[in-house]
Amino acid sequence: MLVAIAKEKILFVINKAGFFISHRLMVAVAAKAEGFDVHVAAPFDEDVEKIIEHGFHYHKIELDRKGQNPYNELKLFFCLFKLLAKLKPDIAHFITIKPIIYGGIAARFVKLKLVVMAISGLGTVFINNSLKSKIRQILVLGLYKLAFRQKCINTIFQNPYDQEFFVSKNLVKLKDSIIIPGSGVDLSVYKVTPEPSPNVVVLMVSRLLIDKGVYEFARAANELYLRGIKVEMRVIGDIDTGSETSLSREDVLKLSQIKNLNFLGYCDDIASAYASSNIACLPSYREGLPKSLIEASACGRPIVTTDAPGCRDAIVQEKTGLMVPTRNANLLADALERLIVNPVLRQKMGVEARNFAEQKFSLTKVIEQHLNIYSKIRS
């Protein structure tokens, strides 16, 4: 009599189902193809259906991304502890801050073959320098220390600055960490297309958060309008009520009064959006590695972004795009103007951007790196 061999289980824990779909779906699909039984834990929303459609097991968790109520945070910890204890996954892959902290601490009480922590950025708490933020930083670092004390752990960083930060704080050992450049880009979907003409379009793809640089983008748009530069500045993305730095509907309405600035809302076809634009822009204060910029590079669009961790890793200065200091709308406008009025430079940088994406950001390579980590439990 043949005895069925149980598949090894991998559990992804994330703060939003939509983020899993946009940033980790293809990694999970590849893991399933490799024989893993894939489970996903996330708060319930409209994207959960897509998780189930791919044949993954869905587990509902109650997680408020910006909530700080101690009772609710404790509930989340026990929820994750019970899920891990019941499911007993071979691999737990925690993504984003709260799953990493509470899931990591809970995992210490459950015997797992491998814990994977995915640091997609330090988060808003490490961007602000207010007294409140500094107190929260101390608290978060203390919780990180508890979460990262695992017998078998691999930590994925998206840029060397975050890796260096965690190693310097004795949270992570260098030998147990790896840099994987973001979630990768499907080069067969994000293709190079001719620039639209005659009007130049600058596109920002981002959630509407203060720390993504939305206000700097809007001020740069206004500055370019005052200079008489003909350009349409577009923003694709929606407000994020789960983030404490999100703009409100009223904020967006006020900014929409700028003559050459258009907020287009959510879009699920970013490749087409870049095909209808000439320049990509993201004036963020700090990133892990911005998906929107690697997608823009794959589409052969030059980039204007900030000289900030994560952002600077998405371009080659003066080759695939231009960098400016953070929180500086005037210099942002200067860089944009330089590309707006120079189509030859745009096209040259666009060619280099595509080459850069092929060399560094291929989805195939990103998937392979993740599968190499998961395969450690089979060696």
In a domain, 78, yes or no: yes
pLDDT band per the 50, 70, 90 thresholds, residue 272 = very high
**CB-CB contact of 123 with 287 (8 Å):** no
Q: Which residue has the tokens 């695939």?
A: 320
User: Which whole number is the average pLDDT over 318-331?
Assistant: 98
Query: Which residues span the domain enclosing 233?
Result: 201-360
User: Which whole number is the average pLDDT over 290-318?
Assistant: 97
Sort strands 201-205 and 279-282 into parallel, antiparallel or unpaired: parallel
In a domain, 1, yes or no: no
Bridge partner residues of 321 (DSSP): 303, 317
Domain shared by 206 and 165, yes or no: no
Q: Which residue has the higher pLDDT, 202 or 125?
A: 202
Both tokens of 298, joined, read: 């794959």
- Whether residue 5 has pLDDT greater than 60: no
Distance, in Å, from the CA atom of 349 to the CA atom of 322, rounded to the nearest integer, reads 10
Q: What is the pTM of this model?
A: 0.90
Domain shared by 124 and 273, yes or no: no
The contacts of residue 85 (CB under 8 Å, 6+ apart) are 109, 110
Domain shared by 93 and 135, yes or no: yes
Can you give the pLDDT at residue 243?
85
In a domain, 191, yes or no: no
Can you give the pLDDT at residue 154?
96
In a domain, 194, yes or no: no
- Whether residue 270 has pLDDT greater than 50: yes
User: What proportion of the chain, given as a percentage, has pLDDT over 90?
Assistant: 85
pLDDT band per the 50, 70, 90 thresholds, residue 131 = confident
Domain shared by 142 and 218, yes or no: no
Can you give the pLDDT at residue 1?
40
Domain shared by 321 and 369, yes or no: no
Q: Which residue has the tokens 């019941």?
A: 86
In a domain, 272, yes or no: yes
Domain shared by 125 and 139, yes or no: yes
pLDDT in tens, 205-262: 999 999 999 999 999 999 999 999 999 999 999 999 888 899 999 999 999 999 999 9
Can you give the pLDDT at residue 6?
65
In a domain, 192, yes or no: no
In a domain, 4, yes or no: no
Domain shared by 279 and 174, yes or no: no
Q: Largest Cα–Cα distance of the chain, in whole Å?
A: 80
In a domain, 20, yes or no: yes
Domain shared by 259 and 342, yes or no: yes
- Whether residue 22 has pLDDT greater than 80: yes
Domain shared by 169 and 68, yes or no: yes
The contacts of residue 174 (CB under 8 Å, 6+ apart) are 163, 167
User: Which of 138-142, 150-154, 281-285: highest mean pLDDT?
Assistant: 281-285
Domain shared by 140 and 58, yes or no: yes
Q: How many folded domains does the chain comprise?
A: 2
Domain shared by 55 and 155, yes or no: yes
Can you give the pLDDT at residue 66?
72
Domain shared by 171 and 262, yes or no: no
Which CATH number does the domain housing residue 328 bear?
3.40.50.2000
- Min mean pLDDT across 2-6, 151-155, 211-215 is at 2-6
Average pLDDT, the chain: 93
